[in-house]
Structure 1
């Protein structure tokens, strides 16, 4: 290894280029080495200091490539040389020296052009630049690398855009498929719900209608259910159930209750005993089942209405003269302590009177039951002139103009026909 002393950046730059050329360093590596050496030396030259540059040839061993080892020494440096951000990183540094190790990729067995490896070539002083200078070559190498990187960047952006477009298309396709599945799922559930909700029976002298809407149209199962049918004596039995819980579980509970009530009613059990008997029948089957229930029996021939209640909202009766009455009956629902109706309320329904049975989803949409009951009276009066088939849906639309608490909604309307109708 030998070294040379330098006081001028131009001479130093020429010496580094000559050294790099003699060892056949690629133009881009040569440019980086020249920039790094002169950047560190410039600060020393401006301070009036000199620098020393040494070079050594390391032939390597085994599979390791030969290396050119270049060291810049600033013996008069006041502070440590700033090596951060150099164009060619230096793996070895001290307070006043920096060493670069650059791999040499000559043809195997061929020596560098330098006849005395490790000795710095003499600087070229006083020579006019050649048309094709080392600086031009380094600049061309840098531009070629920049062009290559720019091309790679454009290609990467194009591929990324295509990938993003593909991902977006796949996302849209998956969203469409998911929506189709949700719609299909909802249709199947609605068909099942419709199958579980019997249409109004055809009863002479009586008009009936029903409205049902789930809290979530995409998942129309719920615990609100009803059943109506004619008993052997001609009276119409109606059951309104609101099972606690959500989804399929509450639907199953409501179905269980309506089926049990129907079976017991057809066996001839009295209206007042039905709730307690249903509780006793179902408790061993499902100990967790809880449901509010409203039971009614209407004789279309006489207009006599009987009601039994188990913790359910009361029925609402609108007379032809515009007066209204909530038909209150105390009782406790299935699964509640001491289940059963405390009494049976009997009232007379005159021709033209309108009876409404419902679940709490109709009146508690604003979480205020009393306000809901007042608004329900107003809605029933406002729509009582409509055909019975339209009344439950019209009332529900009025009650749900503002919904703070979404819930399943069920409303059943009964009206005794006027003699001339």
Structure 2
């Protein structure tokens, strides 16, 4: 004996969309489908049949009910043999399946004591208006529920965003604290690497330095100045290959070696070559250009030695300017050393500019850079000495195509 039972299939033919929708609604009411499920089924059936009905061809609606002790279902078939239904039936408001010339909906039903077709005979048939109102109420309730969910999610998102923003502010504050601490550490390190201001009767000295990047306090550009026992002032300008702390270490080795040799009394013209001999066995990768200047504050006499470094610029008080060219090869270069010494005399008010190539090669054209440096130095020659190096760097770096460590050092003979 089987526990399955079925209500004979019901068929009806329809020639208009309104008639078909009414039939589907009536079927849904008979089988006690919820208002939402009734709406989905009605919209889906009408959408499939739309093309056929507009063409004046009838469609057939068939329904069958099956139930057992464990399951109840309603099968709805729409027969429209000529319908050009190309879209996927799975995208309908109530997904369906295709079989031969029919579109089929399998609708599970809630548990009931007996076939609803029998119980429906005892109930008053609701009017089409009542059904539409019920479906509208369900749609409105569904929209309200979705809006409530949207507001809840928006509120949760706002709270999350507020938390993220607060965290971001905290991270920014912490990052700013770290930047300040890092900057202070770098300034202290830079002060430790560079000699402080030097005051010498008869000379005015000033310096400007800027690294290529902001993540390191210095690079390969370094200077040193000190007064020898005979009263002359020694100045060293070094540009070691590379950037960052590695090149700083190389530049420090050069300046320290030069200072030691100068204080030991080695002739100026031999110091670059002797520095190369001392350092190269310990650092085969070291390459650095070097410029040495020896100045007598009392007479203004200047001696220059050069190892592959950009030439100093001499600007007279009357505005004439010229570069002091001395050939030579830097530390780490073949046959390191200065070919000779350049002898010059600074008149009162004359300005001597020592620099590294980061000042003149920011646009990758050293000749243009030298021309612009002459123009800037002549233009700023009467400013206070301590302001001139920074003013030169500001003028020269209006456009930077090739960032590099930059050093500008000025010496003026007092009037």
Q: TM-score, normalised by structure 1?
A: 0.84
> Which residue does 2:302 correspond to in 1?
305
CA contact (8 A) 2:49 2:83 kept: no
Deviation at 1:326, TM superposition (A): 1.7
SS of residue in 2 equivalent to 1:361: helix
In 1, the alpha carbon distance for the partners of 2:161 and 2:400 equals 40
CA contact (8 A) 2:221 2:239 kept: yes
Of 391-400 and 15-24, the range deviating more from structure 2: 15-24
Q: Deviations over 1:239-295 (max 9, x none)?
A: 001112112222222112111211222222222221122122222322222111101
In 2, the alpha carbon distance for the partners of 1:72 and 1:131 equals 22
Q: Within the alignment, does 1:111 sit opposite 2:113 as a pair?
A: yes
Deviation at 1:336, TM superposition (A): 1.6
Q: 1:86 aligns with which of 55, 70, 92?
A: 92
> Which residue does 1:5 correspond to in 2?
11
> Which residue does 2:68 correspond to in 1?
59
Deviation at 1:51, TM superposition (A): 1.0
In 2, the alpha carbon distance for the partners of 1:137 and 1:149 equals 18
Q: 1:208 aligns with which of 201, 205, 215?
A: 205
User: Measured at CA, do residues 307 and 87 of structure 1 come closer, stay the same or move farther in structure 2, by a change above 3 Å?
Assistant: same
> Which residue does 2:187 correspond to in 1?
190
In 1, the alpha carbon distance for the partners of 2:23 and 2:376 equals 100
SS of residue in 2 equivalent to 1:233: coil
CA contact (8 A) 1:186 1:217 kept: no
In 1, the alpha carbon distance for the partners of 2:73 and 2:352 equals 103
SS of residue in 1 equivalent to 2:294: strand
Q: 2:102 aligns with which of 87, 97, 119?
A: 97
Deviation at 1:201, TM superposition (A): 2.4
Which residues of 2 match residues 272-311 of structure 1 at below 5 A?
272-311=269-308
In 1, the alpha carbon distance for the partners of 2:138 and 2:264 equals 100
Which residues of 2 match residues 18-417 of structure 1 at below 5 A?
18-41=26-49, 44=52, 47-59=56-68, 66-74=71-79, 77-79=81-83, 81=85, 83=89, 85-90=91-96, 92-106=97-111, 110-114=112-116, 130=127, 133-217=130-214, 219-417=216-414
Deviation at 1:52, TM superposition (A): 4.0
SS of residue in 2 equivalent to 1:7: strand
Structure 1: gaps spanning 5 or more residues:
none
In 1, the alpha carbon distance for the partners of 2:228 and 2:268 equals 12
User: Measured at CA, do residues 278 and 97 of structure 1 come closer, stay the same or move farther in structure 2, by a change above 3 Å?
Assistant: same
CA contact (8 A) 2:32 2:116 kept: no
Aligned residues: 404
SS of residue in 2 equivalent to 1:29: helix
SS of residue in 1 equivalent to 2:357: coil
User: Measured at CA, do residues 411 and 85 of structure 1 come closer, stay the same or move farther in structure 2, by a change above 3 Å?
Assistant: closer
CA contact (8 A) 2:51 2:84 kept: no
SS of residue in 2 equivalent to 1:198: coil
Deviation at 1:115, TM superposition (A): 6.2
In 2, the alpha carbon distance for the partners of 1:279 and 1:6 equals 107
CA contact (8 A) 1:235 1:299 kept: yes
> Which residue does 2:3 correspond to in 1?
none
Of 378-387 and 191-200, the range deviating more from structure 2: 378-387
In 2, the alpha carbon distance for the partners of 1:345 and 1:179 equals 50
User: Measured at CA, do residues 59 and 231 of structure 1 come closer, stay the same or move farther in structure 2, by a change above 3 Å?
Assistant: farther
User: Measured at CA, do residues 112 and 178 of structure 1 come closer, stay the same or move farther in structure 2, by a change above 3 Å?
Assistant: farther
CA contact (8 A) 1:352 1:415 kept: yes
Q: TM-score, normalised by structure 2?
A: 0.85
CA contact (8 A) 1:3 1:52 kept: no
Deviation at 1:311, TM superposition (A): 0.6
In 2, the alpha carbon distance for the partners of 1:131 and 1:40 equals 22
Structure 2: gaps spanning 5 or more residues:
1-5
